[in-house]
Amino acid sequence: MKASEPTLDTGENWIRKDLLSIRELAPLEINTILDSAGAFKTVGARDIKKVPALRGKTLVNFFVEPSTRTRTSFELAAFRLSADVVNISASSSSLQKGESLKDTALNLEALHADIIVLRHSAAGASKFLAERLTASVINAGDGAHEHPTQALLDVFTIRERLGRIDGLKVAIVGDILFSRVARSNIWALKKLGANVFLVGPSTLVPRSFESMGVSVVRSLDEILEELDVINLLRIQHERQRKEYFPSLNEYVRFFGLTKERAQRLKPHCLIMHPGPINRGVEIDSDLADGPQSVILDQVANGLAVRMAVLYLCSTAARKQR
Ligand code: CP
């Protein structure tokens, strides 16, 4: 890279053209992304927030499910790396006319797409494409499977605020069963040495998650005082086919982060949420905007993390051609 760009020590630590899941990454690879993101974050503090790392490359943001944060930050990350960007949604693509995902992607590659960022309702959709394309494929969320860049920006934010991940006590609260954010976070936090607690009703947090090396807890009140981080998840009605708890009021009573509960958190405990937030359900509205909340830091850090991911995967793809 040129002198005007952040100093990156990619070495041999990153050789993947695709980012498909956190599960497949070694701790060294996760830390390589986090360190690179730290370098790219400095670009955002400059007057001219642009580096030429991906000049001449084309990124296609292919979002078959809705998104505000992920789609926008991948687009801004690509702009900051000087790539050309095309956005495609389900409603504006020929998927509507019955074209398969594979055919759509092959056509995008024929148009010289170098990187395809895919959000899709089917678990494994990004892996399916990565195995068939020479372009880099970045998973921007596949069904209830994984959302790797969300977990990376979450651990980046924790490390930035608390200085480490190893040994921290992190609770992930709520709809774990349907959450790709939870799965990616569990992998990332465990690989980096955190103690992870999953909190929620048995319908949304089955004990089978214990095989991932986490503790399943039924009562938020049991563990509040111990926590370094509390990450609250949205109830994902769009993936639920039946009622998993009696009412939202009942959910708030047992699992919502209310003002009363927040008073029992350690002063340094970070309040996190991947968004979009249901204010007054998983989190009290004032707490979401309060001093312990890092919700908007997560969003801001997503830009640097996605710049790092795009840069590393694109560099690896170039070496493989
Ligand atoms: N956290 C997250 O993935 O948000 P979006 O659905 O808005 O991208």
Say if pTM beats, i.e. exceeds, 0.75.
yes
Give the β-pairing of 58-63 and 115-120.
parallel
Question: Residue with the nearest Cα to atom 5 of ligand 1?
Answer: 67
CA of 70 to the centre of ligand 1 (A): 5
CA of 254 to the centre of ligand 1 (A): 25
Examine the pLDDT at 5 and tell me if it is beyond 60: no
* Residue 40 parent element (H or E): helix 27-41
Give the β-pairing of 215-217 and 229-232.
unpaired
| Cα 26 from chain centroid (whole Å) | 17
- Given a contact cutoff of 8 angstroms between Cβ atoms, the answer to whether 194 and 165 are in contact is yes
Place of tokens 């490359």: 57
What is the per-residue pLDDT across 172-184, written as a single tens digit (0 to 9) for each?
999 999 999 999 9
68 pocket-lining for ligand 1 (C-beta < 6 Å): yes
Amino acid identity, position 164: R
56-67 average pLDDT score: 96
Nearest to 230 by CA among 239, 242, 221: 221
Question: Residue with the nearest Cα to atom 6 of ligand 1?
Answer: 67
pLDDT the model gives residue 238: 61
Q: How far is residue 145's CA from residue 257's CA, in Å, rounded to a whole number?
A: 26
Question: Residue with the nearest Cα to atom 4 of ligand 1?
Answer: 69
Strands laid side by side in the 84-89 sheet: 84-89, 58-63, 115-120, 136-142
CA of 274 to the centre of ligand 1 (A): 7
Among 65, 68, 282, which residue has the most ligand 1 atoms within 8 Å of its CB, making it the best to mutate? 68
70 pocket-lining for ligand 1 (C-beta < 6 Å): yes
What is the per-residue pLDDT across 120-173, written as a single tens digit (0 to 9) for each?
999 999 999 999 999 999 999 999 999 999 999 999 999 999 999 999 999 999
- Given a contact cutoff of 8 angstroms between Cβ atoms, the answer to whether 277 and 288 are in contact is yes
CA of 71 to the centre of ligand 1 (A): 8
- Average pLDDT over the chain reads 93
Place of tokens 């359900």: 281
Give the β-pairing of 136-142 and 115-120.
parallel
* Range name among 19-23, 269-273, 316-320 with the lowest pLDDT average: 316-320
